[in-house]
Amino acid sequence: MLGTGNAFLPYGRYHSFAMIDGKHIIDCPPTALASFRREGHSVSDIETIFITHVHGDHVFGFPFLLLERTYISDRAHEKPLTVVASKGVKERLKQLCDLAYPGSLETIFERIQWREEADGELDCGLTWHRFKVYHDESVDPYGYHFNKGKEGGFVHSGDSGPCELLYEEIAATSMAILEMGIPEWVASDTHHKPSDVDALAKTTPNVEFIITHSFIDTPGSGWEPTVTDTYPIHPSNVHHAEDGLRMNRHGTSWRVKLKESTKN
């Protein structure tokens, strides 16, 4: 988990941002380069970007990633890059790149391989199933089920409020990265609230939940809380992730390194 914050960047968190096996990332937020630098990852090592939706806190780091590869870590354009996204995302990211750095990103953009199919597989064997979730329809919101039905399978919710299709995918896996973007008092159903997480965790006790896109400051940040710095009490299968959390596959199960996260 390279970042675990929502759009408002609570203290101690970069924008929600996950990486798989050091080569594949889920979304590309404005703080993506900062996340890479902090963890010591080379931007040119990234082979695949999975896009959940096109809200700014999930894709506005895309031009910066292309710019860094073009002028620093892959000047010869030797390393391929694949973007997995729904139809229409390519055009919107092209507009974003043209606005951010006109004339600078055409070459690398043209070399990207775009994969728009809902179900697919990378050369490394990682598979995905993309499914619709409940969020702002104007930003094409999707979740992903990686390696569905295989060892190491897991779900990433993207940004979504409670919805049946997301919960069906979660029930069919052993680990889910789930957003909890808003506190209980916000009048919205397009994000998960603490009570939604609580209810879901109780109905699917065999699933390990990694909570991201959080509105909660990292405890102990030392600053006046933006909203709160206290985690809600949740069932034992809920892990409130902090930036830097790692999850490791062990056969069909997952191991969460709790020393880098706060549980409950």
- Between residues 157 and 152, the one the model is more confident about: 157
Q: For 259-263, what is the mean pLDDT?
A: 44
Q: For 2-25, what is the mean pLDDT?
A: 97
pLDDT bucket at 123, cuts 50 / 70 / 90: very high
Which residues lie across from 175 on neighbouring strands? Answer: 208
Checking if the pLDDT of 166 tops 60, the result is yes
Checking if the pLDDT of 48 tops 80, the result is yes
Q: What is the pTM of this model?
A: 0.95
Domains of the chain listed by start with CATH number: 18-263 (3.60.15.10)
Beta-carbon count within 10 A of 247 CB: 20
Mean pLDDT of the chain: 94
Looking at residue 171, what is its pLDDT?
A: 97
SS (H, E, C) the chain: CCECECCCCCCCCCECEEEECCCEEECCCCCHHHHHHHHCCCHHHCCEEECCCCCHHHHCCHHHHHHHHHHHHCCCCCCCCEEECCCCHHHHHHHHHHHHCCCCCHHHHHHCEEECCCEEECCCCCEEEEEECECCHHHCCEEEEECCCCCCCEEECCCCECCHHHHHHHHCCCEEEEECCCCCCCCCCCCCCHHHHHHHHHHCCCCEEEEECECCCCCCCCCCCCCCCCCCCCCCCEEECCCCCCEEEECCEEEECHHHCEEC
Q: In the numeric block, which tokens belong to residue 142?
A: 């999707």
Q: For 240-247, what is the mean pLDDT?
A: 94
Looking at residue 256, what is its pLDDT?
A: 72
In percent, how much of the chain has pLDDT > 90? 91
Checking if the pLDDT of 30 tops 90, the result is yes
Looking at residue 252, what is its pLDDT?
A: 58
Model pLDDT for residues 183-221, shown as the tens digit of each residue: 999 999 999 999 999 999 999 999 999 999 999 999 988
Distances (CA, A) of 153 to 169, 179, 247: 11, 18, 12
pLDDT bucket at 261, cuts 50 / 70 / 90: very low
Model pLDDT for residues 49-102, shown as the tens digit of each residue: 999 999 999 999 999 999 999 999 999 999 999 999 999 999 999 999 999 999
Distances (CA, A) of 166 to 4, 89, 92, 159, 178: 20, 21, 25, 11, 10
pLDDT bucket at 262, cuts 50 / 70 / 90: very low
